[in-house]
Amino acid sequence: MPSAMLILIGCQLLGELLRTTFHFPVPGPVIGMFLLALALGVRAKRTGQDMTPAPLKPAAESLIANMGLLFVPAGVGIIAEAGVIRKEWLPIIVAVAGSTILSLMVTALVMHWTLPRTSANPADREGGMS
């Protein structure tokens, strides 16, 4: 598990390095996790193995089991920025509501396109969704 945590922290560090070097408006850990997912996907495609290597599974499972704790810093950050939130509440509400609606619409479209293609019954694939 220590080697897996080093991989996760290394990806986070690489993401942070890319963010600061190229001034990306995305947090470094998000870039790092995207790079990790990309690397694991490429590895799985090349080797034909499971996408998640065995050493990463226990580390990932322990992080997921304690995910609630990972939201504490975000909550503290929101409280710390209460003045900004109070001042800019309308754009924040519009952005959150808009992104939620957009996410739901994109999810519905993806489901609409993929479900008929993944149906076990070949007749369902040709007819689309009922």
13 — pLDDT class (breaks 50, 70, 90): very high
* Least confident range of 4-8, 82-86, 100-104, 123-127: 123-127
User: And the tokens for 19?
Assistant: 């963010």
Helices (H), the chain: 2-22, 28-47, 56-65, 67-70, 72-80, 82-87, 89-118, 122-127
Average of per-residue pLDDT across 36-55 = 87
Q: Which pLDDT score is estimated for 59?
A: 86
% residues pLDDT > 70 (the chain) = 90
User: And the tokens for 27?
Assistant: 């947090």
Average of per-residue pLDDT across 80-103 = 94
Query: What are the φ and ψ backbone dihedral angles of 26, each rounded to 5 degrees?
Result: -120, 140
Average of per-residue pLDDT across 54-71 = 87
Question: pTM value?
Answer: 0.57
Contact at 8 Å (CB) between 54 and 33?
no
If you ran DSSP here, which 8-state letter would residue 23 be given?
T
Domain ranges of the chain: 1-70, 80-130
